[in-house]
Chain A
């Protein structure tokens, strides 16, 4: 059954059809959410919320669109909502950031190894995760939206509620921080080659 057929049946109240869609797209949505939130536990929540929203709004889905793309978009929005609420929470409590960062890294680390994960050495992987963790919430979000989602700067500005120039600068700051963290590693890797 194609996605479109499943959507059509799900609209008619066929729970099995919606289950097919969930089973088909969950892993992809999880990866999107994981990139956006930087946290597996949050990503699981985003996956849940994404499908809940999709179910509620399935009447709005236009059949000429691609269901996967539509779902992807919802997942990004859910991730942004979660990041915003996390920012609000964090503003309200001053925590030991080092502990939190450590925890976040460990959460990423706890995943079973997959073939694509072995492409990078453990050290390299650790450095990239740490570099991403060093970004502020806005920097990470703006960077992820531009780098992985290919979202135009204007839209990132609207999404984050900031001026286009500020969005551009936030992405630039994120890249600069990543460069500061990862450039020595890139050089080292080049030397080894």
Chain B
């Protein structure tokens, strides 16, 4: 009689075979039955092997760590959608303001309106202020998300390297939004915000192209750049201004000290 192979016995244990044939053989063959029972006992031992457990409060611990991340997920989803909507709104506001001003200037240059510049000037400034507020509002959310990405890197331990699949993906999404906001800020003449966003763009691109892992050296290099350029500081200042509804000065001299 030809005995069953170990492979056949294992397959039978997991019901991956023609059960009837094997059962019939096992019924007749004592050796194979012994082998089969031994495999069963070994695997039962593995099944019974204890798995570490966590206490009753484990769910709370998980939630407390998770809450922050879910918050950023929610914000990310909201920002991505609202970013597109806001970018559209910004564009409309920009062109509406532009055409309104052009139309207004045409009507106010009529011969009878000697006081036209006086009437027109404050209205144009108000329009620009309004655009600034919209820009700040949207950029604030964007900067908030950017800050989280940068913080992950700034606080990472270079000794351990860093898995960045998630951050890399997030940075990729931020790059597109960053570009829209930078262009809008630039069109509105808000060089200060435009400049900060222009500084951030290469870092976000670099992170988004970094793949899934950063080596110790790559991480150290990136941390140095984040620190040297004062990115986190700049982001926080503009972010704080936007959340306070504060209008940033429209100067063109950008450096970390003035920010």
Contact = CB atoms under 8 A, between A and B. Distances in A.
Q: Do A and B come from one complex?
A: yes
Interface of A: 13, 15, 18-19, 22-27, 30-31, 34-35, 40, 43, 47-48, 51-52, 55-56, 85, 88-89, 108, 111-112, 114, 116-117, 119-120, 124-125, 128-129, 131-132, 146-148, 153, 168-169, 171-172, 175-176, 178-179, 182-183, 185-186, 190
B143 to A, nearest CB: 23
B111 interface: no
Contacts, number: 122
B54 A56 contact: no
A132 B61 CA distance: 29
A96 to B, nearest CB: 18
A128 B59 contact: no
9 contacts: A30-B52, A51-B66, A114-B50, A120-B50, A147-B46, A168-B7, A171-B10, A175-B39, A182-B46
Given A23-B59, A85-B212, A179 B39 contact: yes
Contacts of A51: 62, 66
A153 B15 CA distance: 11
B38 interface: yes
A22 B66 contact: yes
B49 A22 contact: no
A15 B63 CA distance: 10
A9 to B, nearest CB: 14
Contacts of B69: 48, 52
Contacts of A47: 62
A55 B70 contact: yes
Given A23-B59, A52-B73, A117 B46 contact: no
A89 B214 CA distance: 11
Contacts of B48: 119-120
Contacts of A128: 45-46, 49
A108 B49 CA distance: 11
B53 A168 contact: no
Contacts of B59: 22-27
B11 interface: yes
B13 to A, nearest CB: 8
Given A55-B70, A146-B14, A176-B6, A22 B62 contact: yes
A178 B6 contact: no
